[in-house]
Structure 1
Amino acid sequence: MSPTGTENTRLVVLRGPSGAGKSSTARALRACLGSSLTWVAQDTIRRDILKERGVPDGANIELISIIARFALDRGWNVLIDGILHAQRYREMLDELCRDHRGINQHLLLLRCVLAGDSPLPCEYAGHRVQRAGHDQVV
């Protein structure tokens, strides 16, 4: 694709399992930053707009990229939030990051279960969470 955004725009990708607090975090950031932040919610695009199930090569993947690029090209900061399974979304997110002229931040939110005082490995539905190349675990 082609370059997107400016040196001053920020692209934040907030991934993680259901219930990890992605949407709550995005909602709080939107409340603080207001109209300077475009919130691109995977659930809204996939389930509400497209009525699409989570399938490989789903139309939502392309639409998330289009919306993010549209906002970045207008000088708006973008927050993409969702489960965003690495095997389905990695290519699009990597390309978006490569093309973005500004600052990129990938955060992987995990809800870790505690047993007494000892943390157990972070898991999603019994499976280890697969990190994408740019993810920082939070």
Structure 2
Amino acid sequence: MLITSLLPLLSRYSLGFDLVAGPDDTVTLTVIPRKAAGAKQAPEASEVRPISITAAAGEIDAELAKGEEGALGQLIVARKSLSDQLAEQRAAAEAAKTAAASKAKPAAAPAKAATPAPAAQPAPAAAPTPVPAKPGEPASLW
């Protein structure tokens, strides 16, 4: 049941396992997702966070026997869904980046080729000199 429960993760990641015996006949099973061999994109830190279960060996077996209905199965399905969403967002961001770059190239090329010569600007008029303030009144900027 363990491998069947982990198939959704195996389709996207390489998995490592750690099995540790604890006190009172408990066992800790840790599943460690890693970047799959040949994967183009490195997974996000949240995608490769280890999944750890600590319980009696029989309880872990019973939970794994539930498949997708068990806690591990539901967690794996949720992670796969989030991973799919991340992949879609990456693809959309890459497409938007490519579209923006392709729009910027044609607009930038004609601007360089057809730069108009600056027109002669008339000299600005001299600014009026401020009127001195009368005694007892504040100075005016107008």
TM above 0.5, yes or no, is: no
Larger Rg: 2
TM-score range, shorter chain: under 0.3
Structure 2 length as normaliser, TM-score?
A: 0.22
Structure 1 length as normaliser, TM-score?
A: 0.22
Q: Which has the higher helix share?
A: 2
